[in-house]
Chains A and B, each alone.
Chain A
Amino acid sequence: MLSIKNLHASIDDKEILRGIDLEVKAGEVHAIMGPNGSGKSTLASVLAGREDYEVTQGSIDFLGNDLLDLGAEERAREGLFLAFQYPVEIPGVSSTNFLKTAVNQIREHRGQEPLDAVSFLTLIKEKMKLVEMDQSLLSRSLNEGFSGGEKKRNEIFQMAVLEPKLAILDETDSGLDIDALRIVANGVNQLKNSDNATVVVTHYQRLLDYIVPDFVHVLFNGRIVKSGTKELALELEEKGYDWIKEEVNEATA
């Protein structure tokens, strides 16, 4: 589904990603872990199409498309979804109106008829249950005045409505209390099936107790320096990241 080869990316001439290789297949859950500043969020941003980053080398194939050729909205329409680490507040834009526009523009791209008001309402009511979201949030401006937990739940709710093929969760767990974390993870798990894939970017192992990954990758200094199964995450939780750094330093010494 997603094939990243030798990806290099920089911002303001500072290289952050220095040769990432990653293969994600349908039905898989990948966790990307790593210490602060290792490039985790940069990878998520580059995948979603944030224009502040410049890709200097490498390629990304997403379902047979050259992802780097597509604008952010085209990636979304092809089925890529980024759950933002910091969902932005947009005063004056109604949550419902925004989501309806998004759904229908994606449908139009896929050659489907737009949803009428009733079908749209039925859809969002069903998806709201998934993340136990209060309907009153939808009548408010997008993310405006939402608590941290509400914002993250709103991200997963949008993901449920848009049904992406590849979901990238960028530090979705940070700042969540254990109840909110459980709700968010539960939502993600229910959306998982054999046709879609999830990439979980996280600093902490905690989330992976709830969203169990098939593969765990450790990102350090802009490269994936170690890959393994969920046991690797537990090892990181226990021993921290220092031993990884030492291993890398020894290898490059």
Chain B
Amino acid sequence: MSNAIKADLKQNILNNFKSFEAELNGQSRSEVHQLRRKALDSFESVGFPGVKNEEYKYTPITKSLGKEFDFNNISKSGTIESKKVNDFLIKDLDAYNIVIINGQFSKEYSNVSSVDPKLSIQSLAEAFAEQQALLSTHFAKYANSESDTFTALNTAFSKEGVFINVDSNYIVDKPIAIYFISDADREKVIAQPRNLILVGKNSEVEIIESFYTIGAETSFTNVVSEIVVGENAHVHYAKIGLENDKAHHIGNTQVYQAANSVFNATTATLEGGMVRNNMNIVLDAEGCEANMYGLYLLNGKQHVDNHTMVDHRKPNSFSNELYKGIMNEKSTGVFNGKIFVRQDAQKTNAFQSNKNILLSDDATINTKPQLEIWADDVKCSHGATTGQLDEEQLFYLRARGLSKESARAMLLYAFAHEAIEKVKSDAVRDYLDKLIKERLNKNFQ
């Protein structure tokens, strides 16, 4: 994409910001708004990533966005029928449901009324007004606008999304499921939801973020979720990508862990056009544990890029990562896993593995582990494998009467399942299981 178009987009966004500011009705002098301005400055100086940008080398998101969007009108609200919303809800999952339509918190469809006083769930817009102390301590303090231009863009326009606060010493009684729906039925849509999730000391919660599109137009979701895991707290997190082939998605999940906390993440991208998942975890104390699992199933021209980063800042923490992908037809997978072990972070254990199956000659995977270790007493390992289906296994199954198709699907399922089996809720795991089986039987023959 030429620099001229890139500059045009950028200019449109800057103009947009002025009208966005005007709509804020005097809130433009607030502390939050100063953060927005600062983020806009970051965006202005960096702009959209070009082909030479190392972080986006294999994911031509700027080119793709430039073809589809002019960024003239960034935030639009959407309305959809309740019947459609119900279609998306995870079957048999008893959860606090939050529905975000085109980036806007939908009070109508969210069911968060009867929550315990130790748990607050509200729209970010409300939280800006009602939770000023917490917001001023935490909002935009973890997701770094200077290191990621899409985080900068999201922060600059941050207004809507979800705010969750779990008090200390509280085990949330059921999962919190956030459904992000882009309604691209009538026109192209850009959604930039922004979420802040604070989990207090000794508490535990499961959070599910899942993404969908309605309609045949193009959509762009640029989501940022900041998650703060307090001392000795446990957070189970699942991100499920089910947007359609025309969807562009950039997601930044930014996690900050305090001492002895545990964060378990599963990122499953089962559908989508061009998807980038950034999962950044900062282990800023001793005794932290972070587990990251990932799965991507791609066919057609789908493109899914998982970038993960674990920053071991203090001694005696543990991180473990397993990402698995199956690529068919002309699809492309990208995996980049960074592990930083700072000089202070002695006795760190950090493991990383990325495994891929390519089912066609035209499918591609770019995989890159990146370990930077400054401490000298650590255990770190990484590995990446790329292969095809095992012919011996395939023959064995067929020799017992299984059709070639079901034998393939069975082997692919066995490969994929390992990446989602750590999801906390049975209902969510079953939901993923069913989607994976359907997809492997349908699109991977």
Which residues does A use to contact B, with CB under 8 Å?
48-51, 71-73, 75-77, 82, 84, 87-88, 90-93, 97-99, 101-102, 105-106, 109, 141, 158, 162
Task: Indicate which residue in B396, B406, B413, B418 contacts A88 across the interface (CB closer than 8 Å).
Answer: B396
Chain A, interface SS category: helix
Task: Indicate which residue in B393, B401, B418 contacts A162 across the interface (CB closer than 8 Å).
Answer: B401
Residue of A nearest to B418 (CB): A92
Q: Is the CB of A76 within 8 A of B393?
A: no
13 other A-B residue contacts (CB within 8 Å) besides A76-B400, A82-B399: A71-B398, A73-B403, A73-B404, A73-B407, A76-B398, A76-B399, A87-B396, A91-B414, A93-B397, A93-B413, A99-B400, A101-B406, A105-B403
Q: Does B392 contact A (CB under 8 A)?
A: yes
Complex alpha-carbon distance, A111 and B375, angstroms: 66
Q: Is the CB of B395 within 8 A of A72?
A: yes
Q: Which residues of B contact A141 (CB under 8 A)?
A: 414
Q: How many B residues are at the interface, by size bracket?
A: 20 to 34
Q: Is the CB of B393 within 8 A of A73?
A: no
Q: Which residues of A contact B396 (CB under 8 A)?
A: 84, 87-88, 90
Known contacts A51-B395, A84-B396: does B417 contact A92 (CB below 8 Å)?
Answer: yes
Task: Indicate which residue in A51, A84, A91, A102 contacts B402 across the interface (CB closer than 8 Å).
Answer: A102
Minimum distance in angstroms from B215 CB to a CB of chain A: 37
* Interface positions of B from 129 to 159, Cβ below 8 Å from A: none
Complex alpha-carbon distance, A101 and B403, angstroms: 10
- Pull 21 A–B residue pairs with CB atoms less than 8 Å apart, ordered by A: A49-B398, A51-B395, A71-B398, A73-B399, A73-B401, A73-B403, A73-B404, A76-B398, A76-B401, A77-B401, A82-B399, A84-B399, A90-B396, A90-B414, A92-B415, A101-B402, A105-B401, A105-B402, A105-B403, A158-B400, A162-B401
By Cβ-Cβ distance, the 6 closest A-B pairs, closest first, are A92-B414, A76-B401, A72-B398, A102-B400, A106-B401, A73-B398
Known contacts A48-B399, A105-B403: does B393 contact A88 (CB below 8 Å)?
Answer: yes
Q: Does B95 contact A (CB under 8 A)?
A: no
Q: Is the CB of A93 within 8 A of B410?
A: yes
Q: Is the CB of A73 within 8 A of B414?
A: no
Minimum distance in angstroms from B419 CB to a CB of chain A: 11
Which residues does B use to contact A, with CB under 8 Å?
390, 392-393, 395-404, 406-407, 410-411, 413-415, 417-418
Complex alpha-carbon distance, A50 and B396, angstroms: 9
Residue of B nearest to A158 (CB): B400
Q: Which residues of A contact B414 (CB under 8 A)?
A: 90-93, 141
Q: Which residues of B contact A93 (CB under 8 A)?
A: 397, 410-411, 413-414
Q: Is the CB of A105 within 8 A of B406?
A: yes
Minimum distance in angstroms from A86 CB to a CB of chain B: 9
Complex alpha-carbon distance, A75 and B401, angstroms: 8
Q: Which residues of B contact A50 (CB under 8 A)?
A: 395
Q: Which residues of A contact B398 (CB under 8 A)?
A: 49, 71-73, 76
Complex alpha-carbon distance, A82 and B396, angstroms: 9
Complex alpha-carbon distance, A158 and B398, angstroms: 13
Most buried by A among B396, B402, B404, B407: B396
Q: Is the CB of A49 within 8 A of B403?
A: no
Q: Which residues of B contact A109 (CB under 8 A)?
A: 401
Q: Which residues of B contact A49 (CB under 8 A)?
A: 398-399
Q: Is the CB of B393 within 8 A of A98?
A: no
Complex alpha-carbon distance, A128 and B406, angstroms: 25
Residue of B nearest to A94 (CB): B414
Residue of A nearest to B421 (CB): A92
Complex alpha-carbon distance, A106 and B397, angstroms: 12
Complex alpha-carbon distance, A76 and B390, angstroms: 20
Known contacts A90-B411, A98-B410: does B400 contact A162 (CB below 8 Å)?
Answer: yes
Q: Is the CB of A88 within 8 A of B404?
A: no
Minimum distance in angstroms from A113 CB to a CB of chain B: 16
Complex alpha-carbon distance, A141 and B411, angstroms: 12
Minimum distance in angstroms from A81 CB to a CB of chain B: 8
Minimum distance in angstroms from A228 CB to a CB of chain B: 30
Task: Indicate which residue in B392, B402, B410 contacts A73 across the interface (CB closer than 8 Å).
Answer: B402
Minimum distance in angstroms from B411 CB to a CB of chain A: 7
Residue of B nearest to A51 (CB): B395
Residue of B nearest to A109 (CB): B401
Complex alpha-carbon distance, A55 and B395, angstroms: 17
Complex alpha-carbon distance, A90 and B414, angstroms: 8
